């Protein structure tokens, strides 16, 4: 059975964890410590008022974060309230899933992709070149059931990814392929390695979160058989 959007959002929280999460009024608030939007955004647990929004803004500013909200697909009223306050739409995201056995149907060629944790130095270098620095590595370290995926191609480092499992869902994050190794199937083999690893951890589905403007990544996931299962976007207060 395909995971529900609620299960996918919970898996996202658990496989890419914030430094701190707490409830305040109708909100779940997150402290990201530089780890990106997903670990810094507030989400609503029930209908909110403008006063509730102001309280969330104060809470985020009190920890040095610019007010940021994640909007799921059924939150039109909150989206409208934030738009009325001048919040900009940022990074619409598609959630993709597929049954994990779809990517474990053929063996991975020898010396092509490996599940590795702790990350090797070359893995952190590839991530850093793609803008994934120490704060995001700290996010990875907080996940409970996790691994890094390291690929070699043409006898050279090919790319890296991060995978973690929660509640039967293996979610893949931080996929980076070295520029000179792109369009050669490196990402395909990394996703397949993540599927084999996730299956070993008891996962039944593989999931990824992809910014809609990243046309190449969206095309890759669709070509592999992933299906859109939901989405979200952020509203961020103008700097």
Pairing verdict, β 227-236 and 113-116? unpaired
pLDDT over threshold 80, residue 239: no
Q: Read off the pLDDT band of 238 (50, 70, 90).
A: confident
| Secondary structure (H, E, C), 174-201 | EEEECHHHCCCCHHHHHHHHHHHHHHHC
Angle at 195 between CA 189 and CA 201, to 5 degrees: 145
Contact 239, 61 (CB under 8 A): no
The answer to whether the CB of 113 falls within 8 A of the CB of 150 is yes
Give this prediction's pTM.
0.95
16 beta partners: none
* Res. 124: pLDDT tops 80: yes
Can you tell me the mean pLDDT for 1-28?
96
Q: What is the pLDDT of residue 2?
A: 87
pLDDT at 7 (0 to 100): 97
Tens of pLDDT, residues 129-159:
999 999 999 999 999 999 999 999 988 999 9
Task: Write the CA distances from 99 to 76, 123, 225, integer angstroms.
Answer: 30, 27, 9
| Residues 135 and 35: beta-carbon distance below 8 Å | yes
As a CATH number, domain 97-231 is 3.40.630.30
DSSP letter at 111 equals T
Average pLDDT, the chain: 96
- Rounded Cα distance, 142 and 106, in Å: 32
Mean pLDDT of 4-31: 97
User: Tell me: the pLDDT tens digits for 51-69?
Assistant: 999 999 999 999 999 999 9
Residue with tokens 């976007």: 233
Domain-by-domain residue ranges, the chain? 5-93, 97-231
pLDDT band (50, 70, 90) for residue 27: very high
- β-sheet bridge partners, residue 44: 27
**pLDDT for 161-211, tens place per residue?**
999 999 999 999 999 999 998 888 999 999 999 999 999 999 999 999 999
For residue 49, the tally of other CB atoms under 10 A from its CB is 11
Cα separation, 211 vs 74, whole angstroms: 19
pLDDT value for 205: 98
| Cis peptide bond upstream of 97, omega within 30 | no
**Phi, psi angles (nearest 5°) of residue 139:** -60, -50
> What confidence score (pLDDT) does residue 183 get?
87
Q: What is the pLDDT of residue 53?
A: 98
Q: What percent of the chain has pLDDT over 90?
A: 94
């Amino acid at each position: 059975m395909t995971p529900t959007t609620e299960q996918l959002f919970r898996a996202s929280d658990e496989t890419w964890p914030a430094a701190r999460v707490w409830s305040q009024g109708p909100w779940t608030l997150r402290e990201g410590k530089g780890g990106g939007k997903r670990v810094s955004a507030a989400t609503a647990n029930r209908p909110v008022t403008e006063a509730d929004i102001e309280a969330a803004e104060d809470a985020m500013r009190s920890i040095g974060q610019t007010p940021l909200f994640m909007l799921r697909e059924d939150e039109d009223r909150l989206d409208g309230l934030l738009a009325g306050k001048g919040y900009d739409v940022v990074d619409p995201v598609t959630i993709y899933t597929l049954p994990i056995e779809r990517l474990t149907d053929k063996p991975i060629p020898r010396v092509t992709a490996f599940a590795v944790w702790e990350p090797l130095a070359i893995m952190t270098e590839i991530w850093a070149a793609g803008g994934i620095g120490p704060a995001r590595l700290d996010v990875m370290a907080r996940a409970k059931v996790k691994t890094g995926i390291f690929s070699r191609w043409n006898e050279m480092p090919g790319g890296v990814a991060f995978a973690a499992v929660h509640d039967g869902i293996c979610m893949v994050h931080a996929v980076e392929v070295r520029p000179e190794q792109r369009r050669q199937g490196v990402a395909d083999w990394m996703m397949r390695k993540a599927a084999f690893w996730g299956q070993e951890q008891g996962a039944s589905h593989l999931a990824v979160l992809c910014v809609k403007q990243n046309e190449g990544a969206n095309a890759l996931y669709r070509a592999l058989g992933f299906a859109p299962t939901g989405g979200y976007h952020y509203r961020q207060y103008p700097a």
